């Protein structure tokens, strides 16, 4: 089960810090450990609110935080067009900014929010591989992709020079809440990761 999504985009407007802490605390106490957000939810504010609550509760180790890099623009005419793609610079830069907004040292699951039909897969895969190699991201995947698109990544990965296998599911919603026999942490999807 995820907790967050779009509801956090307006979190700053109608929920104060105490209420946010209480909501996240109740979710953790009920066994919800996957918290989902994205850079595009509230222009990053969702990540700030979501990251702060488990940290203040001393529950970061219990929380599985998922965030996404998107290709949604602000609509500004002078917007950096590189931010509308899953380019190396955007994928890396967004992960580093998300870590600051979340106030954490790692992202458990980093998702490509939607397809980019312009940037070569090799470029995007190299960025994801570098984030995992640096220990900033544990697993990667995608959401809102057509079923044919992710298999193309497998073919492209061979030429990308990535060191890891890139596998995943092509679904618009994915739940990581299947508990492992050895841990209360969820079983991660087959993905680019450790």
Active site residues: 41
* SS3 call for 28: helix
DSSP state of 188: P
CA dist., res. 38 & res. 36, Å (int):
7
CA dist., res. 88 & res. 58, Å (int):
33
Taking alpha carbons only, the member of 6, 158, 13 closest to residue 70 is: 6
Q: How many CB atoms lie within 10 A of CB 183?
A: 8
Cβ proximity of 37 and 72 under 8 Å: no
């Amino acid at each position: 089960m995820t907790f967050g999504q779009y509801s956090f985009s307006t979190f700053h407007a109608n929920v104060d810090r105490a209420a946010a802490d209480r909501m996240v605390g109740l979710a953790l106490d009920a066994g919800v450990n996957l918290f989902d957000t994205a850079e595009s939810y509230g222009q990053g504010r969702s990540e700030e609110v979501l990251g702060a609550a488990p940290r203040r509760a001393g529950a970061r180790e219990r929380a599985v935080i998922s965030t996404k890099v998107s290709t949604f623009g602000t609509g500004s005419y002078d917007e950096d067009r590189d931010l509308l793609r899953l380019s190396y610079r955007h994928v890396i830069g967004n992960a580093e900014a998300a870590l600051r907004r979340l106030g954490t040292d790692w992202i458990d699951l980093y998702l490509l929010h939607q397809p980019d039909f312009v940037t070569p897969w090799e470029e995007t895969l190299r960025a994801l591989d570098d984030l995992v190699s640096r220990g900033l991201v544990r697993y990667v995947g995608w959401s809102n992709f057509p079923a044919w698109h992710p298999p193309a990544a497998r073919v492209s990965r061979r030429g990308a020079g990535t060191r890891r296998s890139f596998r995943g599911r092509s679904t618009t919603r994915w739940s990581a809440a299947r508990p492992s026999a050895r841990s209360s942490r969820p079983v991660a999807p087959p993905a680019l990761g450790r």
